[in-house]
Amino acid sequence: MIDPFGRAVSYLRVSVTDRCDFRCVYCMSENMTFLPKRELLTLEELDRLCSAFIDKGVKRLRLTGGEPLVRKNLMSMIKSLSRHLETGALEELTMTTNGSQLTRFADQLYDLGMRRINVSVDTINADKFKAITRWGSLDKVNAGIDAAVAAGLKVKINAVALKGVNDDEFDEMIRWTHGRGMDLTLIETMPLGEIEEDRTDQYLPLSQVRAQLSEKWTLEDIPYKTGGPARYMEVKETGGRIGFITPMSHNFCESCNRVRVTCTGTLYMCLGQEDAADLRAPLRSSPSNGPLYAAIDEAILRKPKGHDFIIDRDRKAPAVSRHMSVTGG
């Protein structure tokens, strides 16, 4: 799958559910309306869809959501997808999770061939954690991270940088993650979906964070890559890595290798654009994958050059109306 700008699409992120057991302030409103269950692809259909992308050259697959681990029987789908790891068609199967269910599932994930996961933790202060996630518990997530590490999974911590919320904690978070052999990635908040808060108040450019961290830590740019948009630095004092994902202050689209598919089978060629392709109809139209392959090919030819996120006080509406939990972070 090569797009019109010569970029090979080898990475698929799949949102297996739009539901979640948290209500993070920057991601969802407290009383979200979720999709009716009948709209969702079954796990078998999701498996077929993922497998079609693997046939077409996807090498890395990340399950996300909503919270992927709240989708019932997800382990059966992972078990089925792991056949592609065994044949070598798929190089990596990973997940982005809020960590709340990991005590229950970490061992199974490892047994099914998963080796790395990202866990989203924006703060290591229990009260703040409650305030950001509304419904989450830091103790539970910490127990989940312990279970994941014990199971043999490599854990990376993702934190959205939020002005006035967690910007006094990055030093502590470096010590916490690197002390446990985990990488830390900071992410700029993006204008996706209506939320109750004002995004201008939350937006913190990571260039500012880098300058702030450089006063305390020796940061060295390194070429380390995980296939995602993060740019990594080594923190000399800890020997650990810190990644920066800067969709707002630096446009990383030129090296974009990914597309996203939702739990209803909608393919988004870019996180920051509205254009999408329906894959559910071609998937259901025939037991053979011909129509599905054709729809995927046609959509890849429409992959846009990039996004154009802006957060400012004059522009109150989000750049993209769908929430991150729909497209999958």
- Which residue has its beta carbon closest to ligand SAM? 329
Least separation in angstroms between residue 107's CB and ligand SAM is: 20
Residue with smaller CB distance to ligand SF4, 9 or 192: 192
Residue with smaller CB distance to ligand SF4, 67 or 188: 67
Distance from C-alpha of 175 to C-alpha of 181, rounded to nearest angstrom: 10
Residue with smaller CB distance to ligand SAM, 41 or 95: 95
Our CA angle for 13, 19, 25, nearest 5°, is: 95
Distance from C-alpha of 190 to C-alpha of 199, rounded to nearest angstrom: 8
Least separation in angstroms between residue 272's CB and ligand SF4 is: 17
Structure tokens, 229: 């948009």
- First CA to last CA across the chain, in angstroms? 22
Q: Using the rule CB under 6 A, give the single segment among 20-28, 38-46, 229-237, 275-283 that binds ligand SAM.
A: 20-28
Instruction: Give the residue, chosen from 11, 26, 232, 244, that forms a contact with ligand SAM under the rule CB under 6 A.
Output: 26
Least separation in angstroms between residue 327's CB and ligand SF4 is: 11
Instruction: Give the residue, chosen from 66, 193, 243, 272, that forms a contact with ligand SF4 under the rule CB under 6 A.
Output: 66
Q: Select the binding partner of residue 28 from ligand SAM, ligand SF4, none (C-beta < 5 to 8 A, by kind).
A: ligand SF4
Contact flag: residue 94 with ligand SAM (CB under 6 A) = no
Torsion (CA) 293, 296, 297, 299 in degrees, nearest 10: 160
Burial 180-211 (b: 16+ CB within 10 A, else e): eebbbbbbbbbbbbebeeebeebbbbbeebbe
Contact flag: residue 229 with ligand SAM (CB under 6 A) = no
Least separation in angstroms between residue 195's CB and ligand SAM is: 8
Q: Annotate each residue in 168-187 with x if it binds ligand SAM (CB under 6 A) or - if it does not, as one string.
A: -------------------x
Instruction: Give the residue, chosen from 67, 101, 203, 309, that forms a contact with ligand SAM under the rule CB under 6 A.
Output: 67
* Of the candidates 114, 53, 103, 55, the residue with the CA atom closest to the CA atom of residue 79: 114
Is residue 36 classed as helix, strand or coil in its secondary structure? coil
Least separation in angstroms between residue 187's CB and ligand SAM is: 5
In single-letter form, the type of residue at position 159 comes to A
Least separation in angstroms between residue 236's CB and ligand SAM is: 27
Q: Which residues 241-260 are close enough to bind ligand SF4 by CB under 6 A?
A: none
Instruction: Give the residue, chosen from 14, 27, 70, 141, that forms a contact with ligand SF4 under the rule CB under 6 A.
Output: 27
Distance from C-alpha of 75 to C-alpha of 111, rounded to nearest angstrom: 11
Structure tokens, 276: 């999408």
* Of the candidates 258, 251, 243, the residue with the CA atom closest to the CA atom of residue 309: 251
Task: Find the largest Cα–Cα distance for the chain.
Answer: 60
Contact flag: residue 328 with ligand SF4 (CB under 6 A) = no
Contact flag: residue 189 with ligand SAM (CB under 6 A) = yes
194 near 320, Cβ under 8 Å? no
Give the interface with ligand SAM as residue ranges (CB under 6 A): 20, 26-27, 64-65, 67, 96-98, 120, 158, 160, 187, 189-190, 192, 324-325, 329
